[in-house]
Amino acid sequence: MRALRVLVGVVCCVCSTAFGAVPNDWDGDGVSDLTRVEEQSDKSLTWKAVLSTTGATTTVGSLGTTSDQVAMAQWLVSGTQIGIVSVNSSDSTLTWSILDSSAAKIDKTFGKAGDLVMAGADLNANGTADAVVVRLVNGAAQWEIAYDLFASSESKTETVTFGKAGDRTFFARVEGGLTDWIGVMRKGSRSRSVALMRNMSTGETRQFKRLPKFASQGTRPRAFAIRQSSGADLLGFQYAKSGGMQISTFTFAGAKVSADLVSGSGTSVVGDFNSGDGQEIAYQDEAESVVINPLQGEVREISDLGGAPVDEINVGVVGSSSSSDSSSGGSSGGSSGGGSDSSGGGSGSLSQCSQIVSWPGGYIYKTVGSHHFTDVRRNTIGIVIKPGARGPFPGCVQALDSKGNVVAKLSLYQRGAGWAARYYAGIGCATGTPFNGASVASKAQANTGSSSVYMNFGGVCYGPINASQCIGSSHC
């Protein structure tokens, strides 16, 4: 459930529909099957699931590329359908695509490049998912909803203004029943966060004032819904903490239900993985993979799936927009949190980040390269990673300003030879960006008014750091 774009390690997932229809149940036994997306050599995506009945891995379809947004949900009357959202390059509209039960591809046009998409919520409680896009218009969050996008030949659309710049968007059920409410999270008083929720069927709004401070400050992990067999959803959050990732759940009243510290910097997804009342959280990382039952306090180990885990909670920006109203932007988040969404959607966001993590102690940032180089690396930014670091170690790292614009790239130069990895601008994927720290800082400053940048390692973004200042090196 993490919203993410599928840049391997960055996947956006979508939210579950009617509670009685178990999400991701590919073998029909009433238990969710752990599902993942795998990137192929041609950048296409293959979707696979580990069946709960046999433990075997099966392919459930091939759809999309690594530049698309995942949009898996119960789009049709029964079952779960894999899906993606992509940008139509000819007119910058968004195309929503799914595969039906016969593997036939169905396309629908809804939204425009730069919108924050939210896929999977059932806002009219009829058992099929509704598509949502959100964008900033004059500082307000404008929501457009296409009810039953794939289940109806003539989908009804509705537009509503709800929220403002700086809010964090999500959806959940605030009471018993099948109706999802749209929501925004913002800073409250007395070190609290406030969730404002709206029922699109009735127009009713509610305010919940006692949610945790971290939900609206710092990296602001996006709330994700954990369905219960009766009553309101629990709200889950995943965020970086010393020693790993913290996965916590709360009631709408602000009561903490569970708090689990897990290893690594992996991905959380939700589903009915234990065949009992209510949903669980599955966390995957190379260091640790577990299923967490927040109400019972049970944690059981599972095998690492590989690929990028996905579920039915999907929130993230697709494409970019030149509209000035979109500059605050939205971000990938979903159950695994991360990102820095300032309202609805737009190009000015850290949408590439599935997680935002403080700069690691074993990572050295250099504003100029090592002095022994005689080529361009001598004068460009570099990142040197000490032995023992777990990674990820992608072939190319993006330096992002605080609005998500790429201000430089660094290419993997070498693994081993006394270091876990070394990256430099000016070579490989970064041939076109031979910048030193002062140049990167200046570019970020011009874009955002700040010289801070984030380093995107395959979806895990480290920062913020000042691009003009070395970290951990005396030879800059």
Radius of gyration for the alpha carbons in the chain, expressed in angstroms and rounded? 21
Is residue 7 within 8 A of residue 66, CB to CB? The reply is: yes
- By CB atoms closer than 10 A (0-12, 13-18, 19+), residue 298 is middle
Each residue's pLDDT tens digit, 75-123: 998 889 999 999 998 899 999 999 999 999 999 999 998 899 999 899 9
And the tokens for 206?
């509610």
Q: Please name the residues in contact with 225: beta carbons below 8 A apart, sequence gap of 6 or more.
A: 15, 16, 170, 171, 172, 173, 180, 233, 234, 235, 236, 270, 313
pLDDT for the residue 475: 61
Helices (H), 335-463: 437-448
And the tokens for 156?
């009804």
pTM: 0.70
Cα–Cα distance measured from residue 176 to residue 43, given in angstroms and rounded to the nearest whole number:
41
Cα–Cα distance measured from residue 202 to residue 181, given in angstroms and rounded to the nearest whole number:
10
pLDDT for the residue 130: 97
Is residue 54 within 8 A of residue 29, CB to CB? The reply is: no
The stretches in the chain having pLDDT less than 70 are 1-21, 320-349, 370-371, 474-476
CA atoms within 13 A on the CB side of 238: 33
pLDDT for the residue 152: 86
pLDDT for the residue 10: 30
Decide: helix, strand or coil at residue 157: strand
> Which one, of 256, 232, 236, 233, lies nearest residue 247 by Cα?
236
pLDDT for the residue 244: 81
Cα–Cα distance measured from residue 350 to residue 93, given in angstroms and rounded to the nearest whole number:
21
The residues that bridge with 115 in the sheet, in sequence order, are none
pLDDT for the residue 476: 65
CA atoms within 13 A on the CB side of 379: 6
**Percent of the chain at pLDDT above 70?**
88
Neighbours of 78 (CB within 10 A): 10
Cα–Cα distance measured from residue 41 to residue 450, given in angstroms and rounded to the nearest whole number:
37
Ordered domains of the chain (ranges, CATH): 34-317 (2.120.10.30), 358-466 (2.60.40)
Cα–Cα distance measured from residue 31 to residue 80, given in angstroms and rounded to the nearest whole number:
13
Parallel, antiparallel or unpaired: strands 355-357 and 460-466? parallel
pLDDT for the residue 342: 38
Decide: helix, strand or coil at residue 459: coil
Is residue 40 within 8 A of residue 46, CB to CB? The reply is: yes
pLDDT for the residue 334: 34
Number of helices (H), then strands (E), belonging to the chain: the values are: 1, 33
CA dihedral angle for residue 261, residue 245, residue 316, residue 153, rounded to 10 degrees: -30
> Which one, of 218, 217, 256, 265, lies nearest residue 236 by Cα?
256
pLDDT for the residue 320: 59
Cα–Cα distance measured from residue 309 to residue 293, given in angstroms and rounded to the nearest whole number:
18
